[in-house]
Structure 1
């Protein structure tokens, strides 16, 4: 008899950092039968900010808007020589690592994140046209103010997409393929300026979910904000918050399911071709056996084991019992798993013996999600034991065998 083990996921909780602006970044792994080769986490973090407003511009990006404002502490001088005295942006565009930990088992994995875009809306105290001498429309005034459109991102930043504007404000979003200072130089005196919010896009590198346990993985990563910090907007534009903390929640929802066809839990061992050769010709069978097909769906590691109604002290396997005589004989039990499932050494699993002590079947693992693929349980009484059975008076041997698929590896 087979027992299927189905594993369900638990939600994760993050621990916020004190005195910091916190946001959760969540991802889930749930195997998709339609895409068995895509064994990756799916980002489930709600999209806010730029990508929520312009989804067509963000087919490969995720964005978050934070209520961090930046305000100028000094006027921005015309044609200033130091980028730090004007509109500059430097964000953590390089990959950074953090550790996520399973709350129950203590297992750890590594997640990586990088900031792939930056955006906001700059706001002026008066109309842009007033700052450049008047006589031009709003778009021309903004372009004159900085010498170029904010749609055209300064190197190493690149064009990010739509840039809405009005007479005294201009929205923008730039991508950040590499880490560096992206700066705009004012061509006219700007008495004051603010950035109304902080938008950023990000990319994630997540671990291989097939090697992870079901359940809760959490971790946190903190960025500093301000001059010379991770998010650096220069020496004039200062933030109203100095810390951003990201709490990561990785939700792992594995599948381990075994299906036995109707009647497959009743295994009758017979010779090759049945008993007719023995009954009519006295031809002794060389073995008694039965191959029982099952279907398995698996996205997680698992081990296999046995439980027996009758077991001996030295056989390390299950026994069959003859009620009429009390005689017992061992039955050899082995398993063949479908392609895509291997042992700990990466080898295919073909007629792998199952023992009571679990040796040899401590770890099986999928290379990709296996969806309802056929495997085989092999039950056999070997030749020596068959001869003992035929030499006795017993007409039948019975015994319950439980085959266990266990995801708790």
Structure 2
């Protein structure tokens, strides 16, 4: 009889990293993503350590088991060795709806676990107490794993019992951190993997609304990105971080009550014309509005009567028409694509002639102005005595966040 035993295959570990941007009216200058990944492991237990360094941690169900006894004074690869991907690594994230791409950078800022010995530290070393046993097991007074092996650095925490020691080390630079045993260790386990990470995200004000997704993968094991030497071997060969950046922009425009009706008049009113016959230089009206914007947007017009670029007003008979120019001035914080302030920027008809504007920071209910004007030569045409008539028309001004 032939018996076949199937060993369980190693599986890749996937972990979602989620961050959100929404504009904050209380702090409009802070244009940053906020971590929305549930915190677990080290940062959940010691939140101040991570808050001070703006890092976040996750605990993964990834184990490392010793493949052979760890011998005293062994080479680095046969000791408790850690080489962690602390350098910044770029990855591309893509907007699921628009296909726009942005670059995110991530680095592993710290790592930790709990080593579990096959026997107590006292039995392995002959020390008088568990804490002394853990210290001398790894080389004396500085051997306890609350003290990181350089270039890894101290995190401020460490917990132990008779046969385990919980640790977390920071990784300010790329390097190999090694603890060398001073006594034989028949077997040892790291029973989970904690890691903290830092992100460099794009400026969300330059991104369209929506979900941006992308991933970065790491090899786990000897010679990999997470390399724990040749003795401590992982339960899983791969780790993939799946990034989801959620951008939720604001674009809101408020027109004061009655602001939808625009009466164009000369400077000082019509008295000079009615009493002395002095023709107005122009007809105009400035209409204020309040705008809240955290992303790029475009502006253009639609109207029932227009020439190549702008809207027209018609007389009561519908036979004669004149050009009306419409322009916009935007508040501080909103510029054109060249980064210049927006002062009396002419608006055009149709989306093909749209002007695009962008925020330097979140603008919250700041005042802008729409300028409506009929120039002098058009006014002269309107006031010809033989055909004098009221002129009217409609204009729809569009603020569009879909750029």
Give the CA deviation at 1:130. Answer: 0.6
The yes-or-no answer on 1:213 pairing with 2:208 is: yes
The equivalent residue for 1:235 is 230
Partner residue, 1:307: 302
| Per-residue CA distance 1:226-274 (angstroms, 9 max, x = gap) | 0110000000000110000110001011111111111111111001011
Cα distance in 2 for residues equivalent to 1:167 and 1:347? 67
Corresponding residue of 1:141: 133
> What is the alpha-carbon distance in structure 2 between the residues aligned to residue 72 and residue 269 of structure 1?
85
SS of 1:57's partner is helix
Task: Name the CA distance, whole Å, in 2 between partners of 1:223 and 1:298.
Answer: 38
Query: Structure 2 residue aligned with 1:337, among 320, 330, 351?
Result: 330
Could you list the runs of 4 or more consecutive aligned residues of structure 1 that deviate by over 6 angstroms after TM superposition? none
Aligned counterparts, 1:237-386, within 5 A? 237-312=232-307, 314=308, 316-324=309-317, 326-357=319-350, 361-386=354-379
Match of 1:57 in 2: 49
| Pairing 1:47–2:34 present | no
Q: CA RMSD in A?
A: 1.5
1 CA distance for matches of 2:68 and 2:371?
A: 81
SS of the residue 1:160 aligns to: coil
Match of 2:193 in 1: 198
Q: Is 2:114–2:165's contact at 8 Å kept on the other side of the alignment?
A: yes
Deviation at 1:394, TM superposition (A): 4.0
> 1: distance between equivalents of 2:355 and 2:274?
42
Q: Which moved more, 1:116-125 or 1:358-367?
A: 358-367
Are 1:399 and 2:397 matched, yes or no? Answer: no
CA distance in 2, matches of 1:71, 1:110: 36
Number of aligned residues: 388
Residue 72 of structure 2 is aligned to residue 78 of structure 1:
yes
**TM-score, length-scaled by structure 1:** 0.92
8 Å CA contact 1:278, 1:284 repeated in 2: yes
Q: For 1:205 and 1:125, how far apart are their aligned partners in 2?
A: 41
- Relative contact order, CA 8 A, sep 6+: which one is greater? 1
Kindly indicate whether the alpha-carbon contact (under 8 Å) linking 2:11 and 2:236 is maintained by their aligned counterparts in 1: no
Task: Please list, as runs of the form range in 1=range in 2, the aligned pairs for 1:157-196 lying within 5 A after superposition.
Answer: 157-196=152-191
Are the counterparts in 1 of residues 302 and 350 from structure 2 also a CA contact under 8 Å?
no
> Once the 2 structures are TM-superposed, how far is the Cα of residue 357 of structure 1 from its aligned partner?
4.7
Query: Per-residue deviation at 1:203?
Result: 0.3
Q: Give the drift of 1:309.
A: 2.3
| 2:87 corresponds to | 94
Structure 1's unaligned 5+ residue stretches are 1-17
Q: Give the conservation status (yes or no) of the 8 Å contact 1:295–1:373.
A: yes
Contact conserved, 1:294 with 1:374, CA < 8 A, in 2?
A: yes
Alpha-carbon distance change, 202 to 342 in structure 1, aligned in 2, over 3 angstroms: same
The Cα offsets for residues 285-325 of structure 1, whole Å up to 9 and x where unpaired, read as 1111000111111111111111002224x4x2111112246
